[in-house]
A and B are shown apart, each in its own frame.
Chain A
Amino acid sequence: MNNIDNLLNNYFDGTASPEEENVLKNYFRSDNISPQHEMYKPMFAGFDKEKQIAAPAFVIPLERDKEKQSLSRKLWITIASTAAVILLVITLFPFKNQSEMQSDDYTVFINGKEITNPQKAQQYADKMFMQANEIIRTSYEPFVEVNAMQTEMDADKIFDNVYRKINYTESENQ
């Protein structure tokens, strides 16, 4: 267990080697996680999940259609493809790069120990804020469902529909 603690210390200080990081990742993937390390499990699980995000495949137009494509259609596809790529980059990669990030942008203490590596601190902070917001979002789901039901059960809307149906039936009869 001391070994894992040492590796975690190195990891959060940003001095862990790739081999040491792999040891940690394998440890947190396993079912033998010590209770005092449980709090780090979501973070490492999160890193695995991020790696699994795959870019959707672009649909390439059929060969026989190529000749028929007008210039505007080609232009539209180029613009759409560029927009999709930009959107993917924005979604999959963090906005801030290393040079933009200030060392005092994030302050993180885990169990009283400060995370001095800015990247690790950012990763941990982002993950934790995301988790907290996910809890809040989940807790509000019943409200969203009720709102949707209320919208569907809008009396004015229902009466309006019935009124329209009656009018339509009457006009058909005449």
Chain B
Amino acid sequence: MKKILSILFLATLFVAGASAQQLEKLFDKYMEDERFNYIYQKRASTMDRLSDMKNFDLMVLDKSTTSLGRQMLTLNSADKSLDESFTREVENALKADKYEQVSIVRNGKNRVDTFEKPTDKGIAKVSFIKNPGNIVITLNLYATKK
């Protein structure tokens, strides 16, 4: 019985570990796909983070965290079915990784969704931008400073 329980426990851990990386798997899956553009930056410097944040009222630079890297995947396509299937894949990955939706902003046909989830080292932040013919997903990983 103990053996079964320990196997079940390990299996649960394995499944949890595997599902925690669905979004990153999605980046890996499409990075070399010719329909997509992919960017990975090992570590966003403070200057990069500052230059990205022009509105300090809204996006105050969080000094308690340090960047562990960021990734961006862009789909520029006029193919509506591809847009829809990729959107579904992203949504499923976010759900599997247990991201919490932080905000939704809709402006006409444009939409920006932001998600967050705590990680072992700090926090993961995702922005999902959908414009007609253009989908962008960014993943920023941060570690909490001790």
Residues on A lying within 8 angstroms of B by beta carbon are 39, 90, 94-96, 102, 104-114, 124-126, 128-130, 132-137, 139-144, 147
Complex CA gap A133/B136 in Å reads 11
- Given contacts A128-B74, A129-B39, A129-B52, is CB(A111)–CB(B47) below 8 Å? no
A39, B78: Cα distance in complex, Å:
13
Q: Are B40 and A137 in contact (CB under 8 A)?
A: no
In the complex, what distance in Å separates the CA atom of A114 from the CA atom of B107?
A: 34
Known: A96-B45, A102-B42, A106-B41. A132 touches B136 (CB 8 A): yes
| Docked-complex contact A112 and B138, CB < 8 angstroms | no
In the bound complex, do residue B136 and residue A137 qualify as a contact, i.e. CB atoms below 8 Å apart?
no
Within 8 A of A (CB), among B118-137: 127, 129, 131, 136
Restricting to B23-53, which residues have a CB under 8 Å from any CB of A? 31-45, 47-48, 51-53
Least CB distance from B26 to A in Å reads 14
Per the bound structure, the CA–CA distance linking A129 and B110 in Å amounts to 18
The answer to whether B37 touches A140, judged by C-beta atoms less than 8 angstroms apart, is no
B38 touches A108 (CB 8 A): yes
Which positions in B face A, CB cutoff 8 Å?
31-45, 47-48, 51-55, 57-59, 70, 72, 74, 76, 105, 107, 110, 112, 114, 127, 129, 131, 136, 138
Specify which of B38, B51, B54, B72 is in contact with A132 (CB 8 Å cutoff). B72
Q: Which residue from chain A places its CB closest to the CB of B57 in the assembled complex?
A: A144
Grouping DSSP codes into helix (H, G, I), strand (E, B) and loop, the A interface class, with mixed when no group exceeds half, is helix
CA distance A137 to B57 in the complex (A): 11
Question: Besides A126-B51, A130-B51, A134-B54, 13 other CB < 8 A contacts?
Answer: A95-B45, A109-B37, A111-B34, A112-B32, A113-B34, A128-B37, A129-B48, A132-B129, A132-B136, A135-B131, A136-B112, A139-B110, A144-B58
Q: Is the CB of B58 within 8 A of A105?
A: no
**A136-B51 in contact (CB<8A):** no
A136 touches B42 (CB 8 A): no
- Contact present for A125 and B39 (CB under 8 Å): yes
Q: Name the contact of A111 in the complex, choosing from B35, B41, B58 (C-beta under 8 A).
A: B35
Cβ of A111 and Cβ of B37 under 8 Å apart? yes
27 pairs, CB–CB < 8 Å, chain A vs chain B: A39-B37, A90-B47, A96-B45, A105-B41, A106-B41, A108-B38, A109-B37, A109-B39, A111-B37, A112-B32, A112-B33, A114-B32, A125-B39, A129-B72, A129-B138, A132-B72, A132-B127, A132-B129, A133-B52, A135-B112, A135-B129, A136-B112, A136-B127, A137-B53, A137-B54, A137-B58, A144-B57
- Given that A106-B39, A112-B32, A140-B105 are known contacts, is A147 also in contact with B129, CB under 8 Å in the complex? no
Set of chain A residues within 8 Å of B42, measured between Cβ atoms? 102, 104-106
